[in-house]
Structure 1
Amino acid sequence: MHIPRRLALAALAAGMPALARAQARDKVVISSKIDAEGGLLGHLILLALERARVPAEARLQLGPTRIVRAALIAGEIDLYPEYTGNGAFFFNREADPAWRSPDAAYDLVKRLDAEANRLVWLPRAPADNTWAIAVRRDLAGRERLSTMEDFARLVQAGDTLRLAASAEFVESAAALPAFEGSYGFRFPRERIVVLPGGDTSATMRAAAQRMNGVNAAMVYTTDGAIDALELAVMTDNRRAQLVFEPAPVVRQAMLERFPAIAPALAPVFAQLSLERLRSLNAQVTVEGRPPQAVARRFLDGLG
C-alpha cells in the first residue's frame, strides 16, 4: 500500500521533534521487547555498554515489535535487539528465500535497513529463535523422534500425536502450513488444541502435563523451559521456517557518535549460541532469577 504524500509529510513532521531530541542526547537509549528474552538481551546490551564506558539509558521491555521498531525509526530510542527474520515482514519480502539462510538473512536485512532507515545491524548471535514443534521426551524416545521427518512419519502413521498451538501457528502460512508443505504431511486439525495468544509457555505446559491428551507443542527454539519440561525439539532440516537470529540494531548517527558500541557488543553476541541462550532464558523463566542478575553473571564469565 502506498502512503499518500500528504500523510507521509505529516508523519515526517511528527517525527522531526523526536529526531531533533535524539541528536541532542548525550546517552544511548537502550530498549528491548516486552518478552523475557527481550529483557535479558536488553540487559546484556546495557551492561556491556556501561562496562565499555558508553553512556547509556535504559527503556527496557518497552512493548511488542511494532512499538519498539517504530520508536527506533522515530529516534525515540537508539538501540535494541531485533531478529533477522523479522526483516521479511518489515520490508514485505516474506517470499524471499534469503530468510531461510542465516548468512543471507542477516546480509539482506542489514542492507535493507541501512538503505531505508540508516539503521545498522551489528554482529548477530548464532542462535536461531524460530518456531518449532517439540514433543514429550518419553514419546520421542519411544518413537525415535528427533527431526521433522520423524514427526511427519508419525503423523502419517496414525493418531498418536496431539498438538497444542496458537491460532497464528496453525493458520499462518509461515508456521504449521510451512512445515506441512516442506515435509509432506497434514496435521489433522481436530487433533490440535488451540490456546489463546501466542504464549509458548502455555503450549509447553499443555504437553508436559498431558492436558487434553496433548503430547506435542508449538515452541520457540530458545525457550528456557524446554529442558525443564522434558520436551524434545524436532530439528527442521529442510529449513521450513525463517531464521530469527538476534542482533543489536542501532541508529547510524548514534553509532558514529559512540563508535565503542560495536566492539563492546560483538563479543557478547558471538557467545550466545542456541544452547547458551536457552540456558540463560531458563534462569529467568524457570529459576525466577532477575534478568539483570543473569546478564551480569554471564558477562562476568566472559571476562
Structure 2
Amino acid sequence: MKRVLVLSLAVTLGSAAAKPIVVGSKLDPEAQLLGQMIVLTLRNAGLEVTDRTNLGDTGVNRKAILAGEIDVYPEYTGNAVYLFPQAKIGAKAAGDPRRIYDLARQLDAKNGITWLKPANVNNTWVIAVPRALAQTHRLNTVADLARYLKAGGRFKIAGSPEFFNRPDTMPAFEATYGFKLRPDQKLVLAGATPPQTQQAAANGTNGVNAAMAYGTDGTLAALNLVALKDPKGAQAVYQPAPIIRTAVLKAHPQITALLNKTFAGLTQATLQQLNAQVALEGRSARDVAERYLKGKGLIR
C-alpha cells in the first residue's frame, strides 16, 4: 500500500511538472502588475508559463485556483476575512499583518493552496473624496464622513459590486462608523477598477463625489483625491502575496525563493509609482513590471 501511495504521488508530481504554470490575476492595475511580475520571474527561471492575468475579480480567481484552472495568482492577506467566513476572523487579528498572514496560510493549507511571503505594503480598501470636498467639510477620516452624512451632506460613491456587497468592505465601514448609505448614494459599476471609480469622483460623473480606492493607488494624488483615514480599523491589512497550488509548488520547489525575492523588494511608494505608470501614463502592466524587475536585477 505504501509503495502504491508513493507511486501515485510521483505520478501526480510528474504530471504537475510537465504542465505549464498558469498565472492568473485580478483586473486592477496593481493586480495585473503583480501578475506580470510572477509571469516574468518564472519565465526568467526557465519555467513554462501560461499567462491568464486580468482574469476577473477575487471570486473568479479563487474559483479558478481551487478548480486547478490556474496555478498561482497574487492575493491579499486581508481577503482571508472574506475567503474564510467560517473562521470568523475578528478586526484585531485582521489588522495585525503577521496574524492575518498566518491565518490565511493555515486556513488555505487544507485546500491545497500555499501562501508565499507577502510584500511589506498595505493595499487596503479606502474611501477617497475630492480634496476640495475634504477641505470644505473637514473630512480627514471615515468618522468625519459619518458626521457629514448624518448632517445631510451630499454624497455619492462609485464602486464595484464587490466593494458594496462584501461584508468586509463598504458594509464594514458602515457598521464600524455608524452610517448606512441609501441606494441612490451608490453608483455600482460592474467590473469597475479603482482608476475608473476615481475618475468618476474627480469628474463628478453622475453626481459622484467619492470613490472606492486602494491604499497603494497611484491615481489618488494625480486626480487630487484624498484617501480618508480609518482610525477604528474597519478594514483589514491587505498585503499582496503570491498564492500557489501546493502540488505545483512541490513539483517546482524553486518557485518559493524566486517569488519571495520578487515580492520582498516592493514598498508602498514603489507600488504607487508603478501603479501610476499603468493607470495614468497608459503603459502596459507587462512593460512596467519588466522594467522594474530588470532594474532591480531580478530578471535578465
Considering the TM-score relative to the shorter chain, is it more than 0.5?
yes
1:159 aligned to which of 153, 156, 160: 153
Counterpart-to-counterpart distance in 1, 2:168 and 2:225: 23
- For residue 191 of structure 1, report the CA deviation from its aligned partner: 6.0
* Number of positions where the alignment pairs a residue of Structure 1 with one of Structure 2: 284
- For residue 139 of structure 1, report the CA deviation from its aligned partner: 2.3
TM-score by length of 2: 0.81
2:88 aligned to which of 88, 95, 104: 95
Q: Alpha carbons of 1:256 and 1:117: their partners in 2 closer, same or farther (altered >3 Å)?
A: same
**Equivalent residue number for residue 58 of structure 1:** 50
**1:33 aligns to what SS in structure 2?**
coil
Counterpart-to-counterpart distance in 2, 1:211 and 1:28: 41
Gaps of 5+ in 1: 1-18
**Equivalent residue number for residue 227 of structure 1:** 221
Any conservation in 1 of the 2:156–2:187 contact (CA below 8 Å)?
no
Gaps of 5+ in 2: 1-11
Counterpart-to-counterpart distance in 2, 1:99 and 1:105: 5
Matches within 5 A, 1:137-152: 137-152=131-146
User: One-letter code of the match for 2:77?
Assistant: T
Q: Which moved more, 1:280-289 or 1:150-159?
A: 150-159
| Deviation readout 1:211-240 (Å, 9 max, x if unpaired) | 344322222333342222111101112111
Counterpart-to-counterpart distance in 1, 2:218 and 2:146: 25
**Equivalent residue number for residue 41 of structure 1:** 34
Counterpart-to-counterpart distance in 1, 2:206 and 2:126: 21
**Equivalent residue number for residue 251 of structure 1:** 245
Counterpart-to-counterpart distance in 2, 1:269 and 1:212: 39
**Equivalent residue number for residue 8 of structure 2:** none
Counterpart-to-counterpart distance in 1, 2:255 and 2:13: 21
| Deviation readout 1:151-177 (Å, 9 max, x if unpaired) | 223333442544334555445433333
Any conservation in 1 of the 2:82–2:166 contact (CA below 8 Å)?
no
Q: CA RMSD in A?
A: 2.9
User: One-letter code of the match for 1:283?
Assistant: Q
- For residue 137 of structure 1, report the CA deviation from its aligned partner: 1.4
Counterpart-to-counterpart distance in 2, 1:137 and 1:94: 39
Matched, 1:285 2:279: yes
| Deviation readout 1:52-93 (Å, 9 max, x if unpaired) | x24131322262234433333344433221222333333333
Counterpart-to-counterpart distance in 2, 1:96 and 1:229: 35
Matches within 5 A, 1:1-303: 22-25=15-18, 27-51=20-44, 53-61=45-53, 63-64=55-56, 65-93=58-86, 95-97=88-90, 98-114=93-109, 116-166=110-160, 169-170=163-164, 172-187=166-181, 189=182, 192-199=185-192, 200-303=194-297
**2:222 aligns to what SS in structure 1?**
coil
| Deviation readout 1:188-215 (Å, 9 max, x if unpaired) | x276142332513343222211234432
TM-score by length of 1: 0.80
**2:220 aligns to what SS in structure 1?**
coil
User: One-letter code of the match for 2:263?
Assistant: F
User: One-letter code of the match for 1:175?
Assistant: T
% same residue: 42
- For residue 24 of structure 1, report the CA deviation from its aligned partner: 4.7
User: One-letter code of the match for 1:85?
Assistant: G
User: One-letter code of the match for 1:29?
Assistant: V
- For residue 295 of structure 1, report the CA deviation from its aligned partner: 0.4
Counterpart-to-counterpart distance in 2, 1:21 and 1:257: 7
Counterpart-to-counterpart distance in 1, 2:14 and 2:63: 16
